[in-house]
């Protein structure tokens, strides 16, 4: 198995855990982390996390996570765990693109967010989840995956399902308190022994001129570069703070991943000088499993930067194994731009960004992970 292969984070959940997740999806009368409202849920979740940690170790995964088994939705559980936040079932979910001739797909609707008071992330349940992972590992590196502050701030600004006006009329105050909440969480994570924090972010492509689905492109009164710099600065302020505490800070970017469907287009070339060049992450997980991401020449922005890049050349959305020759050719192209020492291989996203999971079986998932290991070993020799 290869030290140069990594997984983005999420893995397919077991059936007994999904029974609770389906109940969570349909109820807004319960309070995160839902343990007191759903008898047996916490015990089932802890058992599942212990299982997936062991499974990752058995499959020689270098950096261990909880497989996001503690989450229902990749970004919202973190927000649900903050003080001053209330979840609700919205009138409509998010629309994802068609797949294999099937119609466009609406996500689950329990994605509504209301701000009910001052935002804080003290004593977040994710810290307990991290401690559980710790207890099941020995010398393995552990990462915790949470949404970037700019991703959530983007949703507060643009999503009709994120309502903040009753508590924050001024977006500048909301942004400041959101950043402070993140700092509170990072402080507690570092104190608990956390070393690697991964900030997931799906909003970069919204700023790409070739993303025809972007809600920003038809806004004549918006300077996209100025707006992008605002989001980049928000992330960098958290990154800098986390690094002072001794953390490695990684990021993952994709164009949406819901039950094997994507949300948008938008190439990295269009936003490389901004989101790739200006953000101060230690490692970038980037999506390159199809032509929506554009040319690998976007990697030029990293040529003289001391950062690591994980190329998401494999697909977590398909149940078939990937084209090995295509992946090896792409790795060769990338290594002509960035030293192989700084390159890694992964799938473009997790296998279950929400608990529904992508359209493949657990057996197919591990087969694809094994293939990724083998391709990485063949190319990198380690």
The answer to whether residue 328 sits within a structural domain is yes
The answer to whether residue 153 sits within a structural domain is yes
The answer to whether residue 1 sits within a structural domain is no
The answer to whether residue 7 sits within a structural domain is no
The answer to whether residue 352 sits within a structural domain is yes
Q: Which domain holds residue 329?
A: 15-380
The answer to whether residue 319 sits within a structural domain is yes
Q: How many domains does the chain have?
A: 1
Tens of pLDDT along the chain (382 residues) come to 789 999 999 999 999 999 999 999 999 999 999 999 999 999 999 999 999 999 999 999 999 999 999 999 999 999 999 999 999 988 776 665 555 555 566 677 788 999 999 999 999 999 999 999 999 998 899 999 999 999 999 999 988 899 999 999 999 999 999 999 999 999 999 999 999 999 999 989 889 888 887 878 777 778 889 999 999 999 999 999 999 999 999 999 987 666 667 667 789 999 999 999 999 999 999 999 888 888 999 999 999 999 999 999 999 999 999 999 999 999 999 999 999 999 999 999 999 998 888 899 999 999 999 999 999 999 999 8
**CA angle at 260 for the pair 257 and 262, rounded to the nearest 5°:** 45
Supply the pLDDT for residue 197: 98
The answer to whether residue 6 sits within a structural domain is no
CATH of the domain at 46: 3.20.20.210
Supply the pLDDT for residue 97: 58
pTM of whole model > 0.85? yes
Task: Quote the CA–CA distance of 285 and 8 in Å, as a whole number.
Answer: 7
The answer to whether residue 311 sits within a structural domain is yes
Supply the pLDDT for residue 16: 97
């Amino acid at each position: 198995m290869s030290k140069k292969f990594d997984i983005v984070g999420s893995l397919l959940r077991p059936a007994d855990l999904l029974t609770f997740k389906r109940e969570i999806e349909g109820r807004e009368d319960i309070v995160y982390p839902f343990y007191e409202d759903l008898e047996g849920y916490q015990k089932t979740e802890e058992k599942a996390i212990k299982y997936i940690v062991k499974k990752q170790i058995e499959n020689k995964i270098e950096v261990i996570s909880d497989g996001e088994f503690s989450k229902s939705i990749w970004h919202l559980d973190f927000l649900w765990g903050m003080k001053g936040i209330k979840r609700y079932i919205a009138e409509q979910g998010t629309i994802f693109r068609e797949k294999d001739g099937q119609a466009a797909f609406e996500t689950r609707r329990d994605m509504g967010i209301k701000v009910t008071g001052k935002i804080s992330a003290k004593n977040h349940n994710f810290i307990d989840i991290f401690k559980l992972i710790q207890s099941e590992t020995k010398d393995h590196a552990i990462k915790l995956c949470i949404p970037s502050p700019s991703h959530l701030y983007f949703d507060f600004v643009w999503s009709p399902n994120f309502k903040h006006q009753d508590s924050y009329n001024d977006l500048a105050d909301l942004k400041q308190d959101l950043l402070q909440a993140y700092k509170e969480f990072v402080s507690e994570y570092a104190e608990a022994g956390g070393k690697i924090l991964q900030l997931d972010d799906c909003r970069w492509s919204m700023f790409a001129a070739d993303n025809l689905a972007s809600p920003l492109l038809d806004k004549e009164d918006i300077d996209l570069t100025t707006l992008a710099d605002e989001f980049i600065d928000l992330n960098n302020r958290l990154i800098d703070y986390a690094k002072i505490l001794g953390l490695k800070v990684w990021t993952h970017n994709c164009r949406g991943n819901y039950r094997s469907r994507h949300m948008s287009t938008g190439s990295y070339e269009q936003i490389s000088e901004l989101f790739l060049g200006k953000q101060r992450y230690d490692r970038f997980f980037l999506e390159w499993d199809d032509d929506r991401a554009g040319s690998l020449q976007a990697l030029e922005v990293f040529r003289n930067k001391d950062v690591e890049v994980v190329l998401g050349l494999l697909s977590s959305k398909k149940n078939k194994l990937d084209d090995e020759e295509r992946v090896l050719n792409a790795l060769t192209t990338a290594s002509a731009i960035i030293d192989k020492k700084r390159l890694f291989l992964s799938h473009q996203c997790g296998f279950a960004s929400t608990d529904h999971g992508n359209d493949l079986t657990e057996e197919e998932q591990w087969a694809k992970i094994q293939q990724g290991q083998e391709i990485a070993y063949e190319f990198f020799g380690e």
